[in-house]
Amino acid sequence: MDLANLNAFIAIAETGSFSGAGERLHLTQPAISKRIAGLEQQLNVRLFDRLGREVGLTEAGRALLPRAYQILNVLDDTRRALTNLTGEVTGRLTLATSHHIGLHRLPPLLREYTRRYPQVALDIQFLDSEVAYEEILHGRAELAVITLAPEPHTLVKATPVWDDPLDFVVAPEHSLISNGAVTLADIAGHPAVFPGGNTFTHHIVQRLFEAQGLTPNIAMSTNYLETIKMMVSIGLAWSVLPRTMLDEQVARIPLPGIQLSRQLGYILHTERTLSNAARAFMALLDAQIDLPGTLG
In this structure, the strands spanning 251-252 and 120-126 are unpaired
d(CA 142, CA 139): 7
What are the helix (H) ranges across 16-58? 18-25, 29-43
Predicted confidence at residue 208, as pLDDT, reads 94
CB within 8 Å of 96: residues ≥ 6 apart: 124, 125, 127, 131, 132, 135, 136, 141, 143, 144, 145, 146
How many CB atoms sit inside 10 A of residue 278's CB?
A: 24
Predicted confidence at residue 296, as pLDDT, reads 43
pLDDT-flagged residues of the chain (< 70):
84, 179, 290-296
How many CB atoms sit inside 10 A of residue 30's CB?
A: 10
The strand ranges marked E within 38-179 are: 48-51, 54-57, 91-97, 120-126, 143-147, 156-170
- Tens of pLDDT along 51-81? 777 899 999 999 999 999 888 888 887 877 7
Query: Which secondary structure element, helix H or strand E, spans residue 265, and what is its range?
Result: strand 260-269
**CB-CB contact of 272 with 75 (8 Å):** no
Predicted confidence at residue 1, as pLDDT, reads 73
| Domains of the chain with bracketed CATH | 1-72 (1.10.10.10), 80-160+262-288 (3.40.190.10), 161-260 (3.40.190.10)
d(CA 174, CA 246): 16
- Tens of pLDDT along 87-118? 788 888 999 999 999 988 999 999 999 999 99
Entry pTM: 0.72
**CB-CB contact of 231 with 237 (8 Å):** yes
